[in-house]
Amino acid sequence: MGFWPKSVKARRRLTVFLIAAPLLCGAVGLSLYALKGTVVYFYTPAQLLAAHVPSGRLIRLGGLVQAGSVQKSPDGTVHFTVMDKLEAVPVVYHGDLPDLFREGQGVVCEGAVTTSGVVAATQVLAKHDEKYMPKNVSDELKKQGEWRPGAAPEAPKAEKPF
């Protein structure tokens, strides 16, 4: 019994499949290869230090700004530390910070890791409250025991008229 089916219709379907499948696999492979350079990984400080990310790789670092770590230079460079419950990573950023940026506040910094282990941020995003948090960040904070769902201020209650 041979490889080819006896039915002409089945042979035609098998031929189309045998031609289309490698073409489709090749297109998917080329797409994934082309997108490889655009992937930006998200890390918490503990994950970044554990992963030993090579210098020069573009990453996103998320966590809280450590109290007392913000140092602003006259040339517009800001040095601060992003921390989670386990580790802290120094960050250097040149430019204007978001209005919501402050110590103890959640931030996401996008930039490259330097050879000294400092993250040279090209973009700093500050979040405004606990409700505005990516799911993977909240999951990591819950794993580390840092999640405080009741920390967000409550909305003012409407007063009853007299």
Which helix (DSSP H) or strand (DSSP E) does residue 144 occupy?
Answer: helix 135-144
pTM for this model (two decimals): 0.62
Mean pLDDT computed over 146-162: 50
| pLDDT higher than 50, residue 15 | yes
The structural architecture, per CATH, of the domain 40-147 is Beta Barrel (2.40)
With bands split at pLDDT 50, 70 and 90, how would you rate the model's confidence at 83? very high
DSSP code for 115: T
Gap between the Cα atoms of 41 and 136, Å rounded: 12
Q: What percent of the chain has pLDDT over 90?
A: 43
Residue 73 near residue 54, CB atoms below 8 Å: no
Write down the domain spans for the chain.
8-36, 40-147
Q: What's the pLDDT at 157?
A: 44
